[in-house]
């Protein structure tokens, strides 16, 4: 059974809490304000914006004492021909010592900042084309709102953030224009890899665009299917194992079909698609390659070993079977308990009188066919 109201309750309880989101907001807003006010850094700065699951609306509540996290991109005027990755990152170290002394550390491609209630990743880029400066300082890029809050988000010059809509008398006209206006086609940004001593491509704005489009093609359910899979995988271990974060999200993007009409339908179909699409790689003791959105040459599973992927696959095989039983069950209580077994105790227990058959459920007419819009 789909148990829509139960999934609504479950999703509410695995999302970051209001206080967690407030901590993220305070953390990244303060950091960005400090960056833009810093006289030493001002000559280097073009723009800053949010990326990651916080921005894509795919974040789940952290477990086991972990903190919420938020990722900030800082677009700079730093030339790759003049600065190595290490030299470029060194420019930001005095700023970090000034405001976050003993709270930051250098990571392979970013600075990690640990606050009391939130972790922040600060990622710098090299200089983009000057023709893109205006784009990168637009509302469409710099907005704080995630794609679930502003479902009309468009990457073009006429789109306005919620704050700008309250301040501009022509907001309604501009938003109508934004609906039809073509979106910008940006080049990837370039971020430093200290360990390899190279600059490499990344395209976080394309990741956001892809997620938005996929969410529309799934009637708004895709981001919630991602949350369900992330939560299920986190619950398997005391410490999260690969694939996690964006690589796990990318797997769901590869396997979640368009046309789904509920989170339950999307979840069971995605888990089963993982089994059917990737089983061949397991027989070869290998793993798939999944290109990053906007950077085809970047395999997001590069750092996941074949052994780690095989473990994920075998856990998914068990999960897919359990999800199918839960979805196919016509008994309200049985279905609820099966979903709860799969997703953990955040999924609400069925009512004591929930054993009646059907409960408004329409029995399936055939097996699941990804992409058909109807699943058993």
Report, as residue numbers or ranges, the catalytic residues.
69, 71, 121
Does the pLDDT of residue 266 top 50, yes or no? yes
Distances (CA, A) of 368 to 220, 266, 271, 372: 20, 11, 12, 8
Say how far apart CA 89 and CA 361 lie, in whole Å: 57
Of the candidates 233, 257, 237, the one whose C-alpha atom is nearest the C-alpha of residue 247 is: 233
State residue 366's pLDDT score. 46
- pLDDT computed for residue 353 by the predictor: 58
Q: What is the rounded distance in angstroms from the CA atom of residue 211 to the CA atom of residue 203?
A: 13
What pLDDT, on a 0 to 100 scale, did the predictor assign at position 7? 98
Which residue, 258, 197, 192, is CA-closest to 225?
258
The domains located in the chain, with CATH, are 203-376 (1.10.1410.40)
pLDDT at 307: 97
Cα separation of 78 and 75, whole Å? Answer: 9
Task: Please compute the mean of the pLDDT values over residues 34-48 and round it to a whole number.
Answer: 97
Tell me how far apart the alpha carbons of residues 325 and 319 are, in angstroms, rounded to a whole number.
10
3-state class percentages of the chain: helix first, strand second, coil last, to nearest 5: 45, 15, 40
pLDDT digits (tens, 9 = 90+) for 324-340: 999 999 999 999 999 99
Q: Is residue 192 within 8 Å of 85, Cβ to Cβ?
A: yes
Place 361 in a pLDDT band, splitting at 50, 70 and 90.
very low
Look at residue 329 in the predicted model and tell me its pLDDT: 98
Whether residue 184 is predicted with pLDDT greater than 90 in this model: the reply is yes
Q: Is 5 helix (H, G, I), strand (E, B) or coil?
A: helix
Measure the CA dihedral 144/150/152/155, to 10°: 10
Q: What φ, ψ does residue 74 adopt, rounded to 5°?
A: -115, 110
pLDDT at 357: 52
Q: Can you state the angle between helices 204-217 and 222-234, rounded to 10 degrees? A: 110
What is the pTM (predicted TM-score) of this model? 0.91
How many Cα atoms occupy the beta-carbon half-sphere of 286 within 13 Å?
Answer: 7
């Amino acid at each position: 059974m789909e148990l829509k109201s139960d999934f609504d309750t479950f999703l509410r309880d695995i999302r970051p809490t209001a206080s967690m989101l407030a901590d993220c907001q305070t953390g990244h807003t303060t950091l960005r304000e400090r960056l833009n006010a810093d006289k030493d850094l001002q000559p280097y700065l073009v723009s800053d914006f949010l990326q990651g699951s916080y921005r894509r609306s795919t974040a789940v509540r952290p477990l086991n004492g972990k903190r919420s996290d938020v990722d900030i991109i800082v677009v700079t005027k730093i030339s790759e021909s003049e600065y190595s990755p290490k030299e470029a990152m060194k420019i930001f170290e005095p700023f970090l010592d000034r405001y976050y002394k003993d709270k930051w550390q250098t990571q392979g491609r970013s600075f990690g900042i640990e606050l009391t209630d939130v972790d922040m990743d600060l990622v710098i880029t090299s200089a983009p084309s000057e023709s893109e400066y205006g784009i990168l300082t637009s509302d469409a890029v710099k907005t704080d709102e995630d794609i679930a809050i502003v479902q009309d988000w468009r990457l073009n010059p006429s789109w306005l953030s919620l704050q700008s809509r309250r301040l501009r008398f022509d907001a309604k006209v501009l938003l109508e224009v934004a609906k039809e206006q073509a979106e910008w086609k940006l080049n990837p940004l370039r971020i430093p890899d200290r360990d390899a001593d190279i600059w490499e491509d990344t395209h976080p704005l394309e990741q956001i665009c892809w997620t938005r489009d996929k969410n529309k093609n799934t009637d708004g359910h895709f981001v919630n299917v991602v949350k369900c899979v992330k939560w299920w995988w986190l619950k398997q271990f005391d410490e999260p194992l690969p694939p996690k974060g964006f690589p796990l999200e990318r797997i769901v993007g590869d396997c979640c079909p368009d046309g789904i009409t509920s989170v339950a339908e999307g979840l069971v179909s995605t888990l089963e698609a993982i089994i059917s699409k990737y089983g061949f790689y397991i027989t070869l003791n290998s793993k798939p390659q999944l290109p990053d959105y906007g950077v085809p040459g970047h395999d997001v599973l590069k750092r996941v070993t074949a052994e780690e992927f095989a473990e994920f696959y075998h856990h998914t095989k068990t999960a897919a079977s359990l999800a199918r039983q839960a979805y196919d069950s016509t008994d309200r209580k049985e279905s609820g308990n099966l979903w709860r077994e799969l997703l953990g105790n955040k999924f609400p227990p069925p009512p004591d009188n929930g054993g009646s058959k059907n409960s408004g459920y329409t029995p399936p007419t055939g097996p699941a066919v990804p992409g058909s819009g109807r699943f058993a």
